[in-house]
């Protein structure tokens, strides 16, 4: 991409072209009725389902067996389908573990219900080459002869020799041979002839972090920059971090970012939601954040309380699963057996045991599970895998929500909590959650249940929507001016005029694509009187001037800014009272010459500004910076940025505010458009 010897075009042209092709391909795929979903779940295809069924479909394709059981207990339906016709069983046959498929099979799922492309769960397990899952489906009487809309059976789709052999053993009507009676007692992997069970292990890797270089450093205004970034945290942690790193206010390293968030007391609800995301920055940052909690010598409940004291548990269960998985991995590393070998012989000693146990008023020295939860290295020896630890932590949070939830504080928004679980009911939820299909020892589970049932812990309650979503717009302490405007088509041009010869440039919303949605990052809309001033070719934008240093662009008064311009890098190039617009451009270059000499350029000279054409060699580009919800930022060099205002009075007000900042004056009242 960008190889001049091959295509002869500039690298940015290749970037734009690739983005265009990607968007067109995505649009075609969304509209193509022949596109086979094959058990894949998308955010947009879940629309219209109840929250509980949305969560269930997302978890069906994971290894979290306890989460699937909790969701089924809360009323999730195995018959629920997304817009592609995908059910929980479809999703589980694609990428869920065998234990999840087995659990769903016990809840009478529709075995032969086709999706929008006519695929049954057996089609998916066959094409994925999942021999054990295929055997399970056939034993519970899934039809081996079912054809999809292309007239293809599971056997015709299968390319894996072992899976194909299993399919060929069953008659065309899908019934097992007479000598094989399908009973659930025989459906365990180890009991299937010729089927070797695979551990339910979670493939994990530590994210690789490369610090980003800030766009500039401004030590004289560091305090104002920091305050502006902290204010963004109440709207979006990701946008705030992107701004602070781009401006050099905080060093771009996970430990530094984590310390900054802790120091400035960011909303724990916002923080929990961001750290639970699947963004690259969220992955590294949540590890650094959890590591700072010091999980040594804690148990399941103690570790969760320590972590969620600093951030609120998000109501989104997928985010919660990511957080508890990170807690489990760091707890496991903290209690690595190799690091504790020197103390191995001392663990039987009462003194050493008391060091590894959390204090408790009713603890007994024998460490019995009825008196306290198992902690430290004793717990490490009891739990067999990180997977089992992670799922037990997730189930512990769900237990706390179950036992201490009320109608005013339900387990999930819009979901009725199941009856309060007994100790046996909770242990049933956790049966077989270890990676090898074993269960966590009873004494570990009983200690957790007793601790949770006896005391409500506010740290473990989930955040509610009102704590996360921004409310009504409130005036910012750093805001000098704010209001609606619009960017007309062609109002933002890249600093490469040759690429746009013969046509207008891209809209603001097409400049940056975020990995958060795969869609244009900006979708603004006007409100009130300003709405009547725009048409379909204009893009609404909420402008906010902060500390007379930065001009922020947002999609609404309550949304976090998605872009900003540093005023000292900009000049008001043109003002038209007739059309109620102004144009920002880059500053004219100042050559290395003494003031007053013939080669010097007077930046503040209106005549000089009016003579300088857009994009010529004597003018610098206008630097914008786009801020993304995932914590990334992207610089963008523009020829100009044009704003249209609803009224002449608002235009005059903005011109005055911009003049009061670091922006060059606008032609001393001259109006080129008049």
Domains (ranges, CATH) in the chain?
Answer: 34-169 (1.25.40.20), 540-588+618-662 (2.30.29.30)
Q: Which pLDDT score is estimated for 172?
A: 61
Res 257: pLDDT: 93
- Closest among 623, 461, 443, 473 to 551, alpha carbons compared: 623
Q: What is the dihedral of CA 472, 473, 476, 482, to 10 degrees?
A: -170
Exposed/middle/buried for residue 477 (C-beta within 10 Å: 0-12, 13-18, 19+): exposed
Q: What are the tokens at 112?
A: 């032969």
pLDDT per position as a tens digit, 472-517: 444 455 567 899 999 998 888 887 645 444 444 444 544 443 333 3
Supply the Cα-derived Rg of the chain in whole angstroms. Answer: 30
- Answer whether residue 313 shows pLDDT above 50: yes
Backbone region of residue 141 per phi and psi (left: phi > 0; alpha: psi in -120 to 50; beta: other values): left
Q: In this structure, how many other beta carbons lie within 10 angstroms of the beta carbon of residue 581?
A: 20
Look-up: residue for tokens 């995505």?
26
Cross-strand pairs, 640 = 493, 585
Q: What is the pLDDT of residues 316-359, one digit of tens each?
A: 999 999 999 999 999 999 998 665 555 554 544 444 433 344 44
Rounded-to-integer distance, Cα 651 and Cα 644, Å? 8
**What does residue 263 show for φ and ψ, rounded to 5 degrees?**
-65, -40
Q: What pLDDT sits at residue 462?
A: 86
Q: What pLDDT band is residue 170 in, cutting at 50, 70 and 90?
A: confident
Cβ neighbours, 10 Å, residue 129: 15
CA dist 216 and 205 (Å) reads 33
Contacts of 238 (CB under 8 A, 6+ apart): 274, 277, 279, 281, 282, 560, 628, 629, 630, 631
Q: How many CA atoms lie within 13 A of 506 on its CB side?
A: 19
Instruction: Give 597-631 as a DSSP string.
Output: STT---TT-HHHHHHS-TT-TTB--EEEEEE-TTS
Per-residue confidence at 664, pLDDT binned at 50, 70, 90? very low
DSSP annotation of 96 reads S
For position 659, what pLDDT does the model report?
75
| Of the candidate ranges 158-162, 364-368, 547-551, the one whose mean pLDDT is the lowest | 364-368
């Amino acid at each position: 991409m960008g190889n001049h010897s091959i295509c002869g075009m500039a690298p940015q042209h290749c970037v734009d072209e690739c983005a265009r092709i990607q968007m067109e391909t995505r649009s075609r795929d969304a509209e193509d009725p022949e596109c086979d979903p094959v058990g894949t779940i998308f955010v947009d295809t879940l629309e219209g389902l109840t929250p509980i069924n949305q969560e269930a479909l997302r978890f069906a394709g994971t290894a979290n067996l306890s989460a699937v059981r909790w969701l089924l207990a809360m009323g999730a339906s195995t018959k629920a389908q997304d817009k592609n016709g995908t059910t929980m069983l479809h999703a589980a046959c694609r990428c869920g573990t065998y234990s999840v498929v087995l659990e769903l099979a016990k809840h009478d799922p529709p075995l032969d219900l086709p999706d929008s492309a006519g695929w049954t769960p057996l089609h998916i397990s066959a094409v994925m080459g999942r021999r054990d899952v295929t055997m399970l489906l056939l034993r519970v009487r899934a039809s081996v002869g079912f054809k999809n809309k292309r007239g293809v059976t599971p056997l015709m789709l299968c390319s894996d020799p072992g899976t194909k052999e299993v399919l060929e053993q069953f008659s065309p009507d899908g019934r097992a041979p007479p000598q094989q009676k399908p009973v659930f007692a025989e459906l365990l992997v180890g009991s299937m002839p010729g089927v070797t069970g695979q551990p339910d292990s979670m493939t994990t890797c530590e994210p690789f972090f490369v610090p980003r270089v800030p766009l500039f450093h401004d030590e004289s205004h560091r305090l104002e920059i920091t305050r502006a970034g902290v204010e963004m945290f109440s709207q979006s942690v990701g946008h705030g971090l992107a701004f602070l790193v781009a401006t050099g206010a905080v060093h771009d390293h996970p430990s530094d970012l984590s310390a900054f968030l802790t120091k400035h007391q960011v909303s724990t609800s916002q923080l929990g939601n961001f750290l639970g995301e699947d963004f690259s920055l969220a992955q590294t940052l949540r590890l650094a954040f959890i590591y700072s909690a010091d999980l040594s010598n804690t148990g399941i409940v103690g570790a969760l309380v320590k972590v969620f004291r600093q951030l609120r548990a998000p109501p989104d269960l997928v985010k919660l699963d990511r957080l508890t998985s990170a807690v489990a991995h760091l707890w496991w590393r903290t209690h690595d057996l190799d690091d504790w070998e020197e103390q191995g012989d001392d663990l039987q000693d009462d003194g050493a045991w008391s060091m590894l146990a959390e204090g408790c008023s009713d603890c007994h020295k024998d460490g019995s599970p009825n008196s306290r939860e198992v902690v430290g290295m004793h717990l490490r020896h009891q739990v067999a895998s990180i997977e089992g630890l992670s799922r037990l932590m997730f189930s512990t949070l769900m237990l706390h929500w179950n036992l201490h939830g009320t109608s005013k504080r339900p387990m999930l928004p819009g979901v009725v909590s199941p009856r309060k679980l007994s100790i046996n009911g909770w242990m049933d939820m956790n049966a077989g959650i270890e990676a090898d299909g074993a269960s966590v020892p009873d004494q570990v589970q009983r200690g957790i249940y007793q601790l949770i049932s006896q005391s409500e812990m506010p740290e473990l309650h989930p955040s509610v929507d009102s704590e996360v979503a921004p409310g009504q717009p409130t005036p910012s302490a750093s805001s000098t001016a704010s209001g609606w405007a619009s960017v007309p088509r062609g109002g933002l041009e890249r600093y490469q005029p040759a690429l746009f010869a013969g046509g207008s440039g891209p809209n603001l919303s097409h400049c940056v694509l975020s990995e958060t949605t795969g869609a244009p990052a900006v979708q603004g809309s006007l409100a009130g009187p300003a709405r009547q001033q725009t048409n379909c070719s204009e893009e609404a934008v909420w402008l906010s001037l902060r500390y007379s240093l930065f001009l922020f662009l947002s999609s609404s008064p309550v949304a976090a800014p998605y872009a900003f311009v540093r005023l000292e890098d900009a000049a008001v190039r043109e003002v038209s009272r007739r059309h109620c617009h102004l144009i920002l451009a880059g500053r004219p270059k100042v050559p290395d010459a003494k003031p007053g000499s013939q080669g010097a350029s007077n930046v503040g000279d209106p005549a000089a500004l009016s003579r300088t054409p857009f994009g010529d060699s004597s003018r610098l580009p206008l630097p914008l910076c786009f801020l993304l919800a995932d914590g990334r930022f992207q610089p963008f060099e523009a020829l100009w940025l044009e704003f249209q205002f609803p009224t002449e009075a608002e235009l005059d007000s903005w011109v005055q505010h911009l003049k009061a900042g670091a922006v060059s004056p606008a032609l001393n009242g001259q109006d080129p458009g008049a």
